[in-house]
Amino acid sequence: MAISFNTVYSQLEPHIITFETKRKILKSKGIRNGGITVGTILTIGLLFLPSLGNMFWIIAVIALIIGGVIANAQSKELTEYYKKEIVPLILESVLPGAHYEPETGISEETFRSCKLFPTPDRYSAEDFISGRIDKTDICFSEVHAEERHVQTSKNGTKEYWTDIFKGFLFIADFHKDFAGQTILYRNSWFKFRFGSEKRVKLENNEFEHCFDTYSTDEIEARYILSTSMMERLVTMNRRLGDGITISFRNSNVYIAIPDSKNHFETSLWGPLTRENLESEFQTVSELVQIVDELNLNLRIWTKE
């Protein structure tokens, strides 16, 4: 039976009280340290005001920026407490026995191997979560993959970055060693392909409206994408807000779920609200729900 957030929140309350006490202390410390820094820089600037002229105001702006950075530096200690004491309780309530590594994420090698996206020029991942639901091993983390662009004009060269993907990459054991690779792209004009996959047309119109299927092995693709599996994938896509992409490769299913929010973070400048915590609880619950939604614990295949 799924645990309610009310139950989870009652378990979190003692930690929230400690968190708020710590947050207020660190906030005051940050404001004090930042204020001292700004005051010191401005005082020195005033001593040389006659020779500085308008440069004083530039120095004042720089002082405020430095002061803000110093004040916000206290956030690191607060975030460490949040990720050590509070986030694990949320995870345990949804995924008993979950293993949480805040500083690491799904590797770039794994991201590349799922073949869902072009090779990124810049990659980062954090908040790695792994565990088991009945017979199925899962893991997921936040991922941010970017592509570098260079624009040249008469004014010079400008570098900028665009997102290839930002969100969660969810990986689950499908308990079948795939001979080929099958990819479900969201139904759009753009498709990134490695060249060996061919379009597979399927009979479910709603599924075809959501996804374009490409595979290196059409027979295997049709075997994986049974009538019931297509229906489940359509339901899951709708629940997760559309836009997901899926890869069946090796013996895993890889699901990329776009999400612009930076999860499992906190702020020095505002209280940790019930709404914030419930939002994270719901996010993890929705990801874990994939296992039951796709019926991954039903072992209809046997690994070789």
pLDDT of residue 195: 59
pLDDT-derived band at 293 (thresholds 50, 70, 90) equals very high
Count of structural domains, the chain: 1
Dist. CA 221–CA 180, nearest whole Å: 9
Q: How far is CA 102 from CA 86, 129, 151, 260, 285, in A?
A: 12, 8, 35, 18, 18
- Residue 123 within any structural domain of the chain: yes
pLDDT score of 84: 94
In a domain, 287, yes or no: yes
Q: Domain range for residue 15?
A: 5-177+250-293
pTM of the model: 0.87
Please state, in angstroms and rounded to a whole number, the distance separating the CA atoms of residues 175 and 251. Answer: 6
Q: What is the pLDDT of residues 51-102, one digit of tens each?
A: 766 777 777 778 778 867 776 777 888 899 999 999 999 999 999 999 999 9
The verdict on residue 272 lying in a domain is: yes
Q: With respect to residue 201, please indicate whether it lies within any of the assigned structural domains.
A: no
Structural domain contains residue 57: yes
Could you tell me if residue 21 is inside a domain? yes
Domain-located, residue 200: no
C-alpha–C-alpha distance, residues 295 and 134, integer Å: 11
**Which are the contacts of 35, defined by CB distance < 8 A and separation ≥ 6?**
67, 71
pLDDT tens by residue, 117-163? 999 999 999 999 999 999 999 999 999 999 999 888 777 788 989 99
Distance CA 136, CA 172 (A): 7
- Is there a domain that residue 209 lies in? no
- Residue 78 corresponds to which tokens in the numbers above? 């607060």
